Amino acid sequence: MKAIIQHEGKTFSVNLNEAIDISIPMVGRSTNVNAWYATHPVIEPVVDEDFVISVTNGSSVNFNRIEFIPHAHGTHTECVGHITEDVFSINQHLKQFFFIAEVITVAPGRLEDDYVISRKQVEMLLKGKRPEALVIRTIPNTLEKCAMQYSHTNPPYLAGEAAKYLCDIGVKHLLIDLPSIDKEKDEGRLEAHNAFWNTQGKVRMEATITEFIFVPNSVTDGSYLLNLQIAPFENDASPSKPILYKIETTDKSSD
């Protein structure tokens, strides 16, 4: 199925049958991707008066209880409520779900004991583009990311000045394959989060950050249509399922 999209005076074509899921599935096992010193998610049948409610146990239905932490246990999308005293819900502030996104691949550079994605790297890879959404894939990029235990590993992160640059050029939705855009232990400064949401100025309430994605190596850098799907939790963050569609053609300028 083809879809024709008009955006900024141009007409694009995408094949809706060729969806690229860049989320990491959540599983109730210790192999689930994990961060922030949490135990793994729990997905198990409800027990009612010693009766386990599952078809394999003689019940007519499967009836599972799920316990997880959005920020620690997989692909999630967050709003500025993640770092503010005021309560803001991603379900109330993400109201559009399709965006033109740019996928870039970057090797974080060494900075003392850290590996950091710099403004210079991001600016160079964007080549003057100002996309609505930016998808950052870091290298090395292996399937181990889908089961990585990140706690106490000091993963790579995005420099605060790089996040400010993305804010300045109007990127509204930032997606990255790391547990956070900030350093694991930074004494609560959260420089990249604060810079991207512009918390010291006019706060960007509509902007979102999606962490813990996985972009397969078969996906080339370039422009895509992004469908950013979330579960309707009234919370600062929600599990999410970002989907990419390759932009096949630029047919013509629209009137």
DSSP letters, the chain, are: -EEEEEETTEEEEEETTS-EE------SSTTS-B-TTPPPPEEEE-EETTEE-SGGGT-SS--EEEE--TTTSS-EEE-GGGS-SS---HHHH----EEEEEEEEE-PEEETTEEEE-HHHHHHHHTT---SEEEEEESS--GGGGG-B-TTS---EE-HHHHHHHHHTT--EEEESSS-SS-SSSTT--HHHHHHHTTTSS--TT-EEEES----TTSPSEEEEEEEEE---SSSEEEEEEEEEEEEEEEEE--
The predicted structure's pLDDT at residue 7: 85
The predicted structure's pLDDT at residue 251: 54
Class of CATH domain 2-253:
alpha beta
The predicted structure's pLDDT at residue 255: 45
For the entire predicted model, the pTM comes to 0.95
Chunk the chain into consecutive blocks of 10 residues (it has 255) and report each block's average pLDDT, rounded to whole numbers: 87 94 97 98 95 96 98 98 97 97 98 97 97 98 98 98 98 98 97 98 98 98 97 98 90 49
